[in-house]
Amino acid sequence: MTLRTVRSCTDTTIIEGVSPILSFWRDFRANKGAVTGLGFLLAMALAAIFAPWVAPYSPIDQFRDAMLTPPSWARGGSMRFVLGTDEIGRDLLSRLIHGGRLSLLIGLSAVLMSMIPGVALGLLAAFFPKGAGPVIMRVMDVMMALPALLLAIAIVAVLGPGLFNTIIAIAVVSIPGYVRLVRASAVSELSRDYVSAARMSGAGTLRLMFVTVLPNCLAPLIVHATLNFSTAILDAAALGFLGMGVQPPAAEWGSMLSSARDYIDRAWWVVTLPGVTILLSVLSINLIGDGVRDALDPKLKHTTS
């Protein structure tokens, strides 16, 4: 790791003038784990986007003649259902692919819906340390006092279960993270000379916020958003597992696990496969997050979230 740090430092001195995106990609590519994660995530995203064409069957078609069929490689399995079927004869592979749609949709929307208000509130808190700042931060403290999953459960308990409410609940509980992060990095940027210079030359507060300061807070923000994406997928699965997320018969990974609980002594595949899918997708996003962090800012290398 020492070697890589040194190398990436010299790289940036040599390739001065090369676009930052290119130099970022060079650093990112050096991280094998991150590239593997990116590959897996891309494959999953493609499968999710083209799910109706990729999946062999509809996720809700029931093959009553083939209930709890084991995967093709296990005894009693057949190539008709590659990953086997669940308790009412639905093809597991098709359900997992369609579940990827839901998980990615929930993850992406939750990240967007928490990042936008989070960034705005964080900048407000940094720019108005006498007025709005402390109020915003106290409210965020209160939200952070509750474990994220619990707050999400509470929100769903109030709004009722469902896809849209799951997204809202996960987005709301993710806001404080963004606010704290953006405020902290904006506050440290505000004391820099270039901000004073922009202020002297008459830039308004909004311009200072979004054009001058925000681009310089992007590195930690991107890293945080990546990690937030994986947490959102985990939390959505947890809500589904508790019966408070996306409702059946929709193929959601968490709710698939919840109905698989009853077959734990008979059908290992209905318990194992959805979990492996969740684990692999979350793991690949976390690997990407680590890679992005190392590539964007070698200084951040030794901090863990």
Partner 1 sequence: MLSFILRRIGLLVPSILGVTLLAFSLIRLVPGDPVEVMVGERALDPVMHAEALHRLGLDRAFYVQYADYLGQLAHGDLGQSLVTHDSIRDEFTTLFPATLELALAAMLFAMCFGLLAGVIAAVRRGSWLDQSLMGLSLTGFSMPAFWLGLLLIMLFSVRLGWTPVSGRIDLMFDIPPRTGFMLIDSWMAEQADPANNAGAFRDAALHLVLPAVTLGTIPMAVIARMTRSSMLEVLQEDYVLCARARGFSPARVIWVHALRNALIPVLTVIGLQVGTLMGGAVLTETIFSWPGIGKWLIDAILRRDYPVVQSGILMIALIVILVNFMVDVLYGIVNPRIRHVR
Rounded alpha-carbon distances, angstroms, from residue 148 to 4, 18, 151, 177? 36, 41, 5, 10
User: For residues 181 and 234, which CB has a smaller minimum distance to partner 1 in the complex?
Assistant: 234
CB of 195 to partner 1, least distance (A): 22
Minimum distance, C-beta of residue 69 to partner 1, in the bound complex (Å):
19
Strand partners of residue 91? 85
In angstroms, the CA 113 to CA 170 distance is 9
Residue number, 208 or 237, with CB nearest to partner 1: 237
Q: Nearer to partner 1 by C-beta: 219 or 256?
A: 256
Q: Which residues bind partner 1 (CB under 8 A)?
A: 1-2, 33, 138-139, 141-150, 153-154, 157-160, 230, 234, 237-238, 241-244, 254, 257, 260-261, 264-265, 268, 271-272, 274-275, 278-279, 282-283, 286-287, 290, 302-304
CB of 53 to partner 1, least distance (A): 28
Whichever of 15 and 157 has its CB closer to partner 1, that residue is 157
Position 261: which residue type? Answer: R
To partner 1, the closest distance from the beta carbon of 169 in angstroms equals 12
Q: Residue 253's beta-bridge partner residues?
A: none
Return d(Cα 211, Cα 229) in angstroms, integer.
25
Cβ-Cβ contacts under 8 Å for 224 (sequence gap 6 or more)? 177, 178, 181, 305
- The residue (of 42 and 146) whose beta carbon lies closer to partner 1 is 146
Minimum separation from the CB atom of position 36 to partner 1 (A): 11
State the angle between helix axes of 132-145 and 163-190 in degrees (0 to 180), rounded to the nearest 10: 130
**Distance separating alpha carbons of residues 182 and 220, to the nearest angstrom:** 8
